[in-house]
Each structure stands twice: as structure tokens, then as C-alpha cells.
A and B are shown apart, each in its own frame.
Chain A
Amino acid sequence: KAGVTQTPRYLIKTRGQQVTLSCSPISGHRSVSWYQQTPGQGLQFLFEYFSETQRNKGNFPGRFSGRQFSNSRSEMNVSTLELGDSALYLCASSQQERRAGELFFGEGSRLTVL
């Protein structure tokens, strides 16, 4: 069974640009959540989607947005990039037959903003 797949793995952008990251969950998983990891702040929750609906949102500015498609794949977008957006962005999926199942993470997308 394939794990959580994130693309691209690495990307470099400049300030002011925008970026879209993609996440394909484990087959059969309907919940996808996104986290940002930085050396200073650690792992912080961005948002969670279930059946194409955003169920939870973290304390990030509106420049950070996401969506989920009918096949459970998810994308997140960051507009008007800032230097501080440089981070490892991690996607996780879970089966939500029970509300709080085990989370499985992908390898992440490492974003560098110059």
C-alpha cells in the first residue's frame, strides 16, 4: 500500500511569488491535514480537510490556503511568499471512520524562499 505522497519534494521561490504543494493520501484515507515545520517554531498545524470540507484551521494568515478534491487529494497554496515561509511542509492522512485515527505523514515539501 503506497504511503502519503507529496510533490514537489524541494522547491525554491523568491519573495512575492506563490507556490502550490500537492498531497496524495493513503488509499482509502479521507482526511488530510497540513503542518509547517521550522527550526524555531517546530511543527504547527495549518488546516485539516475531510470529504472536501475544511474542518479545522490553524493560526496562519490568509495567504495560506488549501483545498481537497473528490479523490481526497489535497493542495495547499501560499501566496505572496515571505522569507519566513521557508519551511518543511508536511501532509498527513488518516482514516476517519473514528474521528481521531492514527496520522500518517508524507516526506514533506521543503520550500526555500529567497
Chain B
Amino acid sequence: KQEVTQIPAALSVPEGENLVLNCSFTDSAIYNLQWFRQDPGKGLTSLLLIQSSQREQTSGRLNASLDKSSGRSTLYIAASQPGDSATYLCAVRGNQGGKLIFGQGTELSVKP
């Protein structure tokens, strides 16, 4: 059974700092991994999608990497801003397609 873990559960950093959010999964047989952002009381915003054949994806200040063999993904945020404050969720989809398995999220607070 696939399990997804995100560490840390919460993180507070000063504005301008570069930071890394971690996501680990127990079954390396995944089809893809997706990172989302969720603001309080809102839905999920897709940030990056990494297919199983890819090592990383970049969008603006965000870079996500994937190491299937070790069951890990990281989301790197460069030059953090207060507007980056949100909960970040990673989710994996197995080789059969279908449902996403989510981690519990990392709540990020960027202080001005």
C-alpha cells in the first residue's frame, strides 16, 4: 500500500530564504508525482507535475526533483516571499493510473 510522507509538517522562514520541502513515498512504482499548493479554505493549485521518466521540473522560482529509486521528491523554492505562505502537498499516482495518494502537507509561513 502506497504511503506518502511530508517532512516537516510546518516550516517558518524569513523572506528571501531558499528552502526545500521533502516528500517520500514507500512504493517506487509510480506513474507520476504532482506538487500542489493550498491556501486556507481554498482548493488545490497545481504547481508541478513530474512524470516517472523525468528527474526534475522547473517553473519560475520552483524546482521539483524526483528520485524514484529512493522514493523521494523535493520541492525547492528560491527567494521565498510572504505570498508563498500556504500548505504544500505532494501526491503520487501509481502505475495503474487513477487515484492520487496525498501526503499530509507542509505548512509554510514566510515572514516579512
Task: Report B-chain residues with C-beta under 8 Å of the C-beta of A104.
Answer: 46
Number of residues in B with C-beta < 8 Å to the partner? Answer: 23
Give chain B nearest CB distance to A69 CB in angstroms. Answer: 20
CB contact between B32 and one of A43, A100, A106 (< 8 Å): that residue: A100
1/0 per residue, CB under 8 A from A, across B94-106: the answer is 0001111111110
**Size band of the interface chain A makes with B:** 20 to 34
A-B contact number at CB 8 A: 51
Which residues of A are found within 8 Å of B102, using beta-carbon distances? 35, 42-44
In the complex, the answer to whether A56 meets B98 with C-beta atoms within 8 Å is yes
Interface residues of B (CB under 8 A from A): 31-32, 34, 36, 41-46, 49, 89, 91, 93, 97-105
Residues of B within 8 A of A4 (CB): 43
**Does B34 contact A45, Cβ atoms closer than 8 Å?**
no
In the complex, the 7 A-B pairs of residues with the closest C-beta atoms, listed nearest first:
A45-B99, A105-B44, A43-B102, A56-B98, A107-B43, A99-B97, A102-B49
Interface centre among A45, A55, A58, A103 (most CB of B within 10 A): A103
Chain A 55-94 residues near chain B, CB threshold 8 A: 55-56, 58, 90, 92
Question: In whole angstroms, how far apart are the Cα atoms of A35 and B101 in the complex?
Answer: 10
B43→A45 contact, CB < 8 A: no
CA distance A4 to B89 in the complex (A): 19
Q: Smallest Cβ distance from B58 to chain A, in angstroms?
A: 15
CB atoms of B98 and A102 under 8 A apart: no
Q: Are the C-beta atoms of B98 and A103 separated by less than 8 Å?
A: no
Complex: how many Å from CA A31 to CA B68? 26
Of the residues B43, B91, B104, contact of A106 by C-beta under 8 Å: B43
**Chain B, residue nearest A42 (CB):** B104
CB distance from B37 to the nearest CB of A (A): 11
| CB nearest to A96 among chain B residues | B97
Residues of A within 8 A of B105 (CB): 42
